Amino acid sequence: MNKSNMTQENALDFLIKRLLAEDRRYANFEIPTAYAEKRSLLRSLMNVRPARPISEEFLEIQDKLLSEETREKGIVDGTKLKTVLEDYPNSTICHADKLYLWQGDICTLNVDAIVNAANDQLLGCFVPGHFCIDNAIHSAAGIQLRLECDEIIRRQGHPEETGKAKITSAYNLPCKYVLHTVGPIITGSVTANQFQQLADCYRSCLELAAAHNVKTIAFCCISTGAFHFPPQKAAEIAVKTVCDFLDIHGEKIERVLFNVFSLEDYTIYRNLLE
């Protein structure tokens, strides 16, 4: 196959057919004709695929497709964003010259590392096309991310503990690394232990970033989505933990971005930071 002349749709068709061929249950599956529906199908097939080896040919074509899609979405240079101090000159928050608030798709950020709110298997979300950040990051990074996370869990021999973090390559994302951390899952009132666990998530990521010479790190809103941590309290913990870390290790981290997606979260962080 001449990969250099493949269109995006040719690549999409190839990848879908390869994934369908892996499972006999899909033997009579009819591939849609509309591009958007095909793309949604590919994401769903990637989401439900177990962590198992796949051909280099598949990965080469997948990488070309995902990299081109990232470019089309528009890559955001995290070093060119305005600091909290620049946005809010009267801010009294500590380290305002190192903190950033940015609303958008974390998968488009060109920074050293982004943070993923992971599950304890670190394998990404298996729900087809789910809205969570775990699903979005794994879908944009490619199948290799699930394979590397699976190797980490196999090597350590147990699920990832709440409050801990692991680092992987970012593959087809514009950042260099992904930091995976498992936040607390809230089913009722938040306990004191869960407050501490969320703070541990931020601290673990910052310590891991510093150990790997990560100078710019972008945090998502850990645990506030599908894990139901109250957004206001989560933001307060995030800002305090980051500032406390920078008080002691400020020379190791140059920039910390608080990435938000919803207007609600943006408003919460803005009120805390301005």
Q: What is the predicted pLDDT for the residue at 262?
A: 94
Structure confidence by residue, pLDDT tens digits, 193-221:
999 999 999 999 999 999 999 999 999 99
Residue 1 predicted with pLDDT over 60: no
**CB-CB contact of 217 with 181 (8 Å):** no
Q: Which amino acid is at 165?
A: A
**CB-CB contact of 41 with 12 (8 Å):** no
Scan for tokens 């938040």, then name that residue. Answer: 190
pLDDT band at 94 (very low <50, low <70, confident <90, very high): very high
**CB-CB contact of 12 with 72 (8 Å):** no
Structure confidence by residue, pLDDT tens digits, 128-186:
999 999 999 999 999 999 999 999 999 999 999 999 999 999 999 999 999 999 999 99
Distance CA 55, CA 34 (A): 26
Output the average pLDDT for the chain.
Answer: 96
Q: What is the predicted pLDDT for the residue at 6?
A: 82
Q: What is the predicted pLDDT for the residue at 225?
A: 83
Q: Considering only CA atoms, which of 243, 268, 264, 253 is closest in space to residue 111?
A: 253
Report how far Cα 31 is from the mean position of its chain's Cα atoms: 29
Distance CA 57, CA 63 (A): 10
Residue 2 predicted with pLDDT over 60: no
**CB-CB contact of 217 with 253 (8 Å):** yes
Q: What is the predicted pLDDT for the residue at 250?
A: 87
State if pTM tops 0.85.
Answer: yes
Structure confidence by residue, pLDDT tens digits, 231-268:
999 999 999 999 999 999 989 999 999 999 999 999 99
- Average pLDDT, integer, range 71-85: 96
DSSP the chain: --GGG--HHHHHHHHHHHHHTT-GGGTTPPPPSSHHHHHHHHHHHHHH--S----HHHHHHHHHHHHHHHHHH--EEGGGSPPHHHH-TT---TTTTTEEEEES-GGGEESSEEEEE--TT-S---STT-SSHHHHHHHHH-HHHHHHHHHHHHHHTSPPPTT-EEEEE-TTSSSSEEEEE-PPPPSSSPPHHHHHHHHHHHHHHHHHHHHTT--EEEE--TTSSTT---HHHHHHHHHHHHHHHHHHHTTT-SEEEEEE-SHHHHHHHHHHH-
Distance CA 269, CA 238 (A): 10
Residue-range domains of the chain with CATH: 3-73 (no CATH), 76-273 (3.40.220.10)
Alpha-carbon distance values, 253 to 57, 136, 208 (Å) = 38, 26, 11
Residue 52 predicted with pLDDT over 90: yes
Distance CA 81, CA 255 (A): 10
